[in-house]
Structure 1
Amino acid sequence: MSKKWIVGVDLGGTTTKIAFITMDGDIIHKWEIPTDNSDEGQYITSNIAKSIEEKLLGLNHPKDMLAGVGMGAPGPVDYDTGVILNTVNLGWKDNFPLKDSLEKATSLPAAVENDANCAALGEMWKGAGSGAKNLVCVTLGTGVGGGVISNGNIVQGVNGAAGEIGHITAIPFGGAPCNCGKTGCLETVASATGIVRLALEEIQKDGAKGPLADVYVKNGKITAKDVFDTARTDDKLALSILQEVCIHLGLALANIANLLNPEKIVLGGGVSKAGEILLEPVMENFRRFAFTPVRNSTKLAIANLGNDAGVLGAAWLIRNKLENEKDTLNI
């Protein structure tokens, strides 16, 4: 395998994670920079390029040490063209030519994908999904993202919007509004913000009491972590919220597995850090709703790459592209 490095970039609305990674998937150096989305995001790719060059200089390595750059970005991406179809927090107009912009700024071959897809690729390559060529990765964070991998390849759909698991309808009537414009999406009940919303609805009812309600009274707010922490103390209110979340999540994952029959479903994102107190009831509901052959063949696991999943998946993306083009690229 080549001794050159590849660059993995995990672009977020607030911060951008960047890493130098070997062709074998070992992280050499990683860092973060603020994401400057001012002036319609015109500085994003140039800031990334500048930061890469500064790091190379600091590590005393030449630019030709790098073979290419892969990026995961929030929003649906047309992989073939590298166009990001729409974004929420980056300032770009719809149908922004992200790959072309990244290649121009860095003077490197580039590959671009949705960030949740990149997290899925990272877990497949080096994480909890290692060895599985058919898997689903669900990221439970501020929102709910997803990536579907079939036979080692990301399922992209006709315009790059496949795998938007967070926008599966969990509550068909009377559900909470979602940022996507629909109501009742899985994201409204299984994300960190969804869990907090459910908890606040219960806490603000007359007579609500217990450790979770006490946290709210003391701090004037609660977090998803508060819900999990108080559930571990057998707080009835927290446990009832957790039960509702896990019913919706287990049902959605069972329906996904019934359709795709993946080898593994990997749960990542900040909410997944709750660990077994989340995984066990999700698995219970998954088994309840899954088709028997699927139930017996699909394994659920907590992601283990943490914040490195996105940069590793982005690196795999450009590595795979370069490998496919190695007959014409001298790497």
Structure 2
Amino acid sequence: MAKWCFGIDLGGTTVKCALFQTDGTVEEKWEIVTRTENNGEAILPDIAATILAKIEEKKIDKAEVAGVGIGVPGPVEETGEIPCAVNLHWGRKNIEKELGDLTGLAVKAGNDANVAALGEMWKGGGQGAKNLILVTLGTGVGGGIIVNEKIVTGAHGAGGEIGHAFVNPAETKACNCGNKGCLEQYASATGIARLAKEALESETEDSVLRTVKNISAKSVFDAYKEGDVLAGKIVDKFAAYLGNALAVFACVSDPDVFVIGGGVSKAGQVLIDAVEKYYKAHAFTASKETPIKLATLGNDAGIYGAAKLILSKDN
């Protein structure tokens, strides 16, 4: 009977690692540096070494380890292969087989945003749900979709790439993905800063934002909380894009709950209230009352989700 598992969240700078009991209790968390030089050839051996060292340190019988779950920044195919992971300088790689061979343990890999969604469903803002959409508002907009407790990956591993949903046909500037009018261009931290700069140029109101040297999503929401009228217009525009997009997503997967995470979500309940107004105005009748909640696991969502990934044998 398995008593332990490992959750690994592989990022471009650091690898977050955790040893879990199979009930979801964290035994220990730690980080190692992601060594991306030489096409990232040291990354998986480093992860294997830290896992095996932890097993030895804790005097754990390998037979009692369910395996290793790992979230990676890029699409993951059903075979356990990744076509590429740009930030890691990897080309095509079968991460499950390679890490499995290095550790002698079962390995299950998933896209990092999808894995974070699984974590929030298991032990975070969506706890108790079986159907969930996670939206992460950071430098970009990421997402993960869970249906009947299973991650939606799709034919190309691109399920849940909600940041690149097309929301504005009038857009003339390109998104990082190459398309124009993606949700990420308006709902990310950089997108909100862009909306603010445009508003400062086109609107005439006095605003505390006119005194801010480097406009950020945080400065916009801070001003909004103080009743700044121009900040209110910016937040309303952001909320319209995101709330309307969530209404579309609800028609596709009908979640029990939306969970909003990422750095922008630190604005708190005022962000949820602004988005909810537009969501409720446009959602299909059956989904109008679907709650929108804040993520609660923060940077730990990935390790929790990775652990759940290996524990969900049907996933």
- TM-score, length basis structure 1: 0.89
The 3-state SS of whatever aligns with 1:89 is helix
Matches within 5 A, 1:251-270: 251-270=244-263
Q: Deviations over 1:144-183 (max 9, x none)?
A: 1111111111112112111110000121222432111111
Q: Would the alpha carbon gap of residues 139 and 128 (structure 1) be closer, same or farther in structure 2, given more than 3 Å must change?
A: same
Amino acid aligned to 1:198? L
Name 2:312's counterpart in structure 1: 320
Report the alpha carbon displacement of residue 99 of structure 1 after superposing the two structures with TM: 1.4
Name 1:119's counterpart in structure 2: 116
Name 2:174's counterpart in structure 1: 177
**Alpha-carbon distance between aligned partners in 2 of 1:237 and 1:64, rounded to the nearest angstrom:** 60
Q: Deviations over 1:91-135 (max 9, x none)?
A: 001x32221222123221100011111111111111121111111
**Matched residue count:** 315
The reply to whether residue 103 of structure 1 matches residue 100 of structure 2 is yes
User: What percent identity do the matched residue pairs reach?
Assistant: 48
Name 2:243's counterpart in structure 1: 250
**Alpha-carbon distance between aligned partners in 2 of 1:274 and 1:106, rounded to the nearest angstrom:** 41
**Alpha-carbon distance between aligned partners in 2 of 1:36 and 1:288, rounded to the nearest angstrom:** 47
Amino acid aligned to 2:141? V
The reply to whether residue 128 of structure 1 matches residue 122 of structure 2 is no
- Say whether the 8 Å CA contact 1:122–1:316 is kept in structure 2: yes
Amino acid aligned to 1:134? N
Amino acid aligned to 1:4? K
- Say whether the 8 Å CA contact 1:125–1:313 is kept in structure 2: yes
Q: Deviations over 1:31-57 (max 9, x none)?
A: 122212111111111111222234445
Paired residue for 1:159, among 156, 159, 184? 156
Q: Would the alpha carbon gap of residues 200 and 81 (structure 1) be closer, same or farther in structure 2, given more than 3 Å must change?
A: same
Flag structure 1 segments of 5+ consecutive residues without an equivalent.
Answer: 326-331
- Say whether the 8 Å CA contact 2:131–2:148 is kept in structure 1: yes
The reply to whether residue 300 of structure 1 matches residue 292 of structure 2 is yes
The 3-state SS of whatever aligns with 1:288 is helix
Flag structure 2 segments of 5+ consecutive residues without an equivalent.
Answer: none
Q: Would the alpha carbon gap of residues 48 and 209 (structure 1) be closer, same or farther in structure 2, given more than 3 Å must change?
A: farther
Name 2:284's counterpart in structure 1: 291
Name 1:223's counterpart in structure 2: 216
The 3-state SS of whatever aligns with 2:66 is strand
Q: CA RMSD in A?
A: 2.0
**Alpha-carbon distance between aligned partners in 2 of 1:263 and 1:207, rounded to the nearest angstrom:** 42
**Alpha-carbon distance between aligned partners in 2 of 1:317 and 1:106, rounded to the nearest angstrom:** 17
- TM-score, length basis structure 2: 0.93
**Alpha-carbon distance between aligned partners in 2 of 1:237 and 1:55, rounded to the nearest angstrom:** 52
The 3-state SS of whatever aligns with 2:35 is coil
Amino acid aligned to 2:111? N
**Alpha-carbon distance between aligned partners in 2 of 1:272 and 1:263, rounded to the nearest angstrom:** 19
